[in-house]
Amino acid sequence: MKVLVTGGAGFIGSHFVDALIAQGYEVAIIDDLSTGKRQNLNLAARFYHLDIGDPALAGVFESERPDVVAHYAARASVRLSVEEPGRDAEVNILGSLNLIEGCRRFGVKKIVYISSGGAVYGEPLHLPCAEAHPINPICPYGVSKHAFEHYLYLYRQVYGLNYTVLRYANIYGPRQDPCGEAGVVAIFTIQMLEGRPVTINGSGEQQRDFVYVDDAVRCNLAALERGDGQTYNVGCGQGATVNQIFARLKALTGYEGEPHFGPPRPGETFIIYLDATKARRELGWEPRVGLEKGLSRTVDYFRSRGGQ
């Protein structure tokens, strides 16, 4: 089977590429390197330096003829989506439409789409959020990620293009960008290892569902051949506060400082964690790496690299 991975030089996408190649899949990567990094690229995969919105994308499909597309590429910053909702829609909706048209034209059998369980539901009416929870995003990023889910349904009904949607919680681990807008674990870890001030946006009592990257990749592998036409939450089912993350990382890094508190960021959900019962039942997936072990592995990774 040949898999085309968009965003395959990014944090999660590159881990998925590595897993695919280790299992004998043939892999091609599309990434514009706006946030992905060349050092994340697996040399056993063919690489196309390209934006998913570029018309030249059709040439990649014509050349590669993938069986499955795993779609990670996105503008993933809540803050930037609030500041530039048009640009967010341009990449996450129009770029994804360019991609799905390539899938339709060149006989792709399935798309595995990485959506956002942390953003599409908005402020939860109940916790943990199952897939049937109302969709009421409070940021343009959540709107754009959910919008493409509807296109996937449409293309399956009209053209027979199969799909599985994975709504991620907060994924963390090695290769996460400590210089980006998101990724509190990586950001805090680097700041602590370098002895720099750490700022928590808001009170720090906001809760997130943290999933270690290896667990997310296992779910993605399961979705290649299962879960057709379905949507799954990928989460641990419980929240940890940002203050708790700070305290655990402080202990793991030996950091001696205390956090500074800044204003909350607009568009961010205060508390969110996900019910992944459906993924457990239908994909045979559940998280295996607990938060303490995952944080320890992440700190060890960044420490071994002397930072980034």
Catalytic residues: 141
Euclidean distance between CA atoms 41 and 45, whole angstroms: 8
Q: Where are the alpha helices (DSSP H) in 131-223?
A: 140-159, 184-193, 213-223
User: First-to-last CA distance in the chain?
Assistant: 34
CB atoms within 10 A of CB 197: 10
Is 239 exposed, middle or buried (CB count within 10 Å of its CB: 0-12, 13-18, 19+)? buried
Distance CA 81, CA 75 (A): 8
Nearest to 28 by CA among 1, 39, 37: 1
Please report where in the chains the tokens 């419980």 appear, as a residue.
238
DSSP one-letter code for 202: S
Question: 156: exposed, middle or buried (C-beta count within 10 Å: 0-12, 13-18, 19+)?
Answer: middle
User: Are 1 and 20 in contact, with CB atoms under 8 Å apart?
Assistant: no
26-31 and 199-201: which strand pairing?
Answer: unpaired
SS3 for 61?
A: helix
**Interstrand relation of 199-201 and 260-262 (parallel, antiparallel or unpaired):** parallel
